[in-house]
Amino acid sequence: MTVLPITIWGEPVLHRRAAEVDVFDDDLRTLIADMFETNEAANGVGLAAPQVGVGKRLFVYKYDNDDGAPTSAALVNPVLTLSKVSGAVPDPDEEEEGCLSFPGEQYPLKRAEWARVDAVDGFGEPITFEATGWFARVLQHEFDHLDGKLYVNKLMDRYSRKAMKQAKKNGWGVPGLTWMPGVDPDPFGH
């Protein structure tokens, strides 16, 4: 297994819809293994293929949950069904998210409290489960990457302005920027 560099906001693959996976072979399963290794090295809870420069509809997660779902899985070609997202202002103490592709920054965002995922694994076998709370948030966050969206694209105006100001300060928004888990300092201080 190999730890892969993580792309940073501005890399084109992060900002376009990923392609369906249609070949389930050893190359796909190697990518999945590398993504699990990268997620672990980055102290992440989830990692989508576009975050490692691959425009395919798949993500991995590792998250202990009380929903009866696997604590880790690779979800290929996932479809999410969500409960309604509250129109309330997000709580900055309880609903703050971070992203490995917007490293070191965290902003509050409202998400659905419930999600159902229908996907397949790296062998094409079906996976279906429901998630609530933070686990549902993790799934939504990673799924958004497959549609070319980062959580900062969904922030309310005042947080969006802060995020874009920080991106400019960090020199992000251009292709070719990455960071290497296990080599570069952990942007979230784990």
By annotation, the residues acting in catalysis are 142
How many CB atoms are closer than 10 A to CB 181? 21
Q: Helix or strand or coil: residue 60?
A: strand
- Token pair of 85 as six digits: 């997202």
φ/ψ of residue 164, rounded to 5: -70, -35
Angle at 72 between CA 146 and CA 9, to 5 degrees: 35
91 and 108 Cβ atoms separated by less than 8 Å: yes
Q: Which of 162, 144, 141, 39 shows the shortest CA–CA distance to 98?
A: 141
Q: Spell out the alpha helix ranges (H) of 111-156.
A: 133-146
Q: Which of 120, 34, 6, 26 shows the shortest CA–CA distance to 73?
A: 120
The DSSP call for residue 56 is B
Q: Helix or strand or coil: residue 167?
A: helix
Residue 15 known to bind ligand: no
Residue 145 known to bind ligand: yes
Annotated binding-site residue numbers = 99, 141, 145
Annotated binding-site residue numbers for Fe cation = 99, 141, 145
